[in-house]
Amino acid sequence: MPSIVEAQNWAKQQLAGGESPKVDAKVILQHLLQCNQTYLLTWPEKTLSNEQWSRYQELIAKRVAGEPVAYIVGEREFWSLSLKVSPATLIPRPDTEVLVEQALKKVLNQADTHIVDLGTGTGAIALALASELPKAKVFASDLREDAVNLAQDNAQKLDLSQVQVKQGSWFEPFAEQQFDLVVSNPPYIDPEDPHLSQGDVRFEPSSALTAEQHGLADIEHIVSHAPSYLKAGGWLLLEHGFDQKEAVQGLLIANGFAEVFTEQDYGGMDRVTGGCIKE
């Protein structure tokens, strides 16, 4: 059987030409051996068992076929929180941390602060906010039962079970509730976008990626319903496509939002737009 270093070298060759052969080979082996990077570096000569080697070959074959590493290993880090992921949900993206950063500027850590994350998926945004605002009441919704279960699992695993995850469409589970902050990373890709046939998104659920009206249908739904769920002075913050700033700002203004602003992601693309409902 190959050693740790031999197995990784083999995997790197298999993955050559991919986006990140070295990191993928390492991360998948760490997952398989349930160890950290230090272990791999400390025991390069240690041989894999027969079973480990055949499992490693299977997992690398999945990656060669394009399956995202996050789905292969079943987890992804977001806001320094390790989240379980599954093909039921979008894989959390680093750019979505910009939405969390902006959200944290808009609310206080108080017992009467109410926040909701619509279409929560893994629970990433809700859990990141709850981890920073332990006194606040954080709610989340998702249409898919498997996503709701996953977000609840993540909340429990991270000891953030104050986050309440409900099944339903957008605001549906929160009739009569009023929030200080509404956040969402809804689907916003045009179903005709050619990028949908490349890379990781091929394996992600289209329900989490695409929306009608060139990607704007769900954003429009959220913006038009948000005013009746926001307290006076409350904020709505949305992630959107790099070319949707004007459209999203226009929707916010048309629905009575003030102080409308857009923030760029780490790649310098317009990514998060928000506004507030005045007193």
Return the H-helix or E-strand segment holding 99.
helix 96-106
Binding segment (CB under 6 A) for ligand GLN, from list 73-81, 147-155, 184-192, 246-254: 184-192
d(CA 4, CA 120): 38
209 is a contact residue toward ligand GLN (CB under 6 A):
yes
188 interacts with ligand GLN by CB under 6 A: yes
Strands annotated E in 92-172: 114-118, 137-142, 164-167
Q: Return the residue of 35, 143, 189, 260 that touches ligand GLN, per CB under 6 A.
A: 189
Q: Is 42 annotated as a binding residue?
A: no
Residues 6+ apart with CB under 8 A from 242: 265, 269, 270, 271
Distance of CA 194 to the CA centre of its chain: 21
Q: Is 102 in the site for ligand GLN (CB under 6 A)?
A: no
CA distance 63 to 10: 13
Q: Does 185 bind ligand GLN (CB under 6 A)?
A: yes
The residue (of 113 and 185) whose beta carbon lies closer to ligand GLN is 185
Residue 196 in contact with ligand GLN, rule: CB under 6 A = no
Helices 124-132 and 96-106, axial angle in degrees (round to 10): 40
- Kindly provide the b/e burial profile for residues 215-234, where b requires at least 16 CB atoms within 10 angstroms of the residue's own CB: bbebbbbbbebbeebbeeeb
Site for ligand GLN in 79-98 (CB under 6 A): 90, 93
Binding of ligand GLN by 187 (CB under 6 A):
yes
Q: Is 148 in the site for ligand GLN (CB under 6 A)?
A: no
Q: Between residues 147 and 201, which has the closer beta carbon with respect to ligand GLN?
A: 201
273 scored as a contact of ligand GLN (CB under 6 A) = no
Shortest Å distance, C-beta 95 to ligand GLN:
6
Q: Can you spell out the DSSP letters for 8-19?
A: HHHHHHHTTTSS
Residues flagged as binding site for substrate = 185-188
Contacting positions for ligand GLN (CB under 6 A): 90, 93, 185, 187-189, 201, 209, 239
